[in-house]
């Protein structure tokens, strides 16, 4: 799957307060999560996702985030192929923080 086929969004397209009908899935490692994450996000490290995918509702709009967007792009492609309503956050947490968005620690 080429990058252009991966559903993607940018920080500007995401409301400051994440709507209740949107899931933010953070696929970074535990130490990255602890350093700061989006308030209300679900944390499932990329390596754990195959065994934990059942925790996600395929019909809920899900925004996938990692540090800069590489891992989340791969996860987005994988979930999308399985029928999940999912988009990759372009630029990841780096873009989120650069945009001055709130980070939970």
Whether pLDDT at 2 is above 70: no
Residue 47 — pLDDT band, cuts 50, 70, 90? very high
Question: Are the beta carbons of 52 and 44 closer than 8 angstroms?
Answer: yes
The model's pTM is 0.94
Contacts of 41 (CB under 8 A, 6+ apart): 24, 25, 26, 65, 104
Does the pLDDT of residue 98 top 80, yes or no?
yes
Give, in order, the Cα–Cα distances in Å from 103 to each of 19, 64, 75, 98: 16, 16, 22, 11
Q: Give the per-residue pLDDT at 43.
A: 98
* pLDDT tens track for 77-92: 999 999 999 999 999 9
Q: For residue 70, give the H/E element and its range.
A: helix 70-81
Give the mean model confidence (pLDDT) for residues 32-38: 97
Superfamily of domain 3-98: Rhodanese-like domain (3.40.250.10)
66 among known catalytic residues? yes
* DSSP assignment letter at 49: H
Catalytic residue among 24, 46, 66, 86: 66
Give the pLDDT score at 30.
98
Report pLDDT for 5.
Answer: 83
Query: What's the rounded mean pLDDT across residues 8-19?
Result: 94
Residue 60 is classified by DSSP as S
């Amino acid at each position: 799957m080429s990058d252009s086929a991966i559903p993607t969004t940018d920080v500007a397209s995401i409301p400051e307060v994440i709507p209740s009908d949107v899931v933010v899935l953070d696929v970074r490692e535990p130490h990255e999560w602890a350093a700061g994450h989006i308030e209300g996000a679900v944390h499932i490290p990329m390596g754990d996702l195959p065994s934990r995918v059942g925790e996600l509702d395929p019909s809920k709009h899900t925004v996938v985030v990692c540090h800069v967007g590489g891992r989340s792009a791969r996860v987005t492609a994988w979930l999308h192929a399985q029928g999940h309503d999912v988009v990759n956050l372009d630029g990841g947490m780096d873009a989120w923080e650069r945009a001055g968005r709130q980070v939970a620690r």
